[in-house]
Amino acid sequence: MKSSRKTAATLGLAAIGITSAVAMTPANAAAGPGAVTVRPGAHGAYTVHVTRASGAAALAAPSTSPSVDHRFVPDGGSFTCARSYACAVVPYSNGAYVFNFYRYGGYSLSYWHGNGAFVNNQTDGAAARYDDANGHQVGCVPAGIARNGIDWNPIWRIRLTAAAC
């Protein structure tokens, strides 16, 4: 799955030159190396801010295996990350996909590009870790922390663990 990322990006760039403009919706949106940040708001909500729009034509939206609950949030839209969940924010077109992780374990990632964020609302010191293609941990977000600036490009897996960072 992940190995198709570079091919998808190359094909996506080629498609830009030969296709006409289309409406920007999650189904046919751009999925290049965009960037988003999240800002805390009232009552535990976070607001998505696109800091750099995605640039390549999308072949697929970001996904996980096993699949978790997720939804598209447009620029300026908001989302909540429920207590006991860890939420990853992945830039896509004019917004971001927000993935809600709940169960401990590993999740493989497909088509995750650009700079995003991680909100870890797990309890009791549980950690949200992210690993590269070789299984080496690249970063860890402690419980109760929201972190912007996560480069999803080299990340192939997310792990939720009971152990603290």
Give the tens place of pLDDT for each residue, 24-79.
Answer: 334 434 445 688 888 888 878 888 888 776 665 456 899 999 999 999 999 999 99
pLDDT at 109 over 60: yes
For the stretch 98-115, what's the b/e string if a residue is b when 16 or more beta carbons lie within 10 angstroms of its beta carbon?
Answer: bbbbeeeebbebbbbbbb
Q: Cα-flanking dihedrals φ and ψ of residue 13, to 5°?
A: -65, -40
By the 8 A CB rule, do 96 and 36 touch? yes
pLDDT at 108 over 70: yes
pLDDT in the model for residue 119: 97
Closest CA to 122 of 146, 158, 88, 86: 86
As a whole number, mean pLDDT of residues 4-23 equals 33
What pTM does this model have?
0.77
Residue-wise pLDDT for 149-164, tens only, equals: 999 999 999 999 999 9
Q: How far apart are the first and last CA of the chain?
A: 28
User: Where exactly are the structural domains of the chain?
Assistant: 4-161
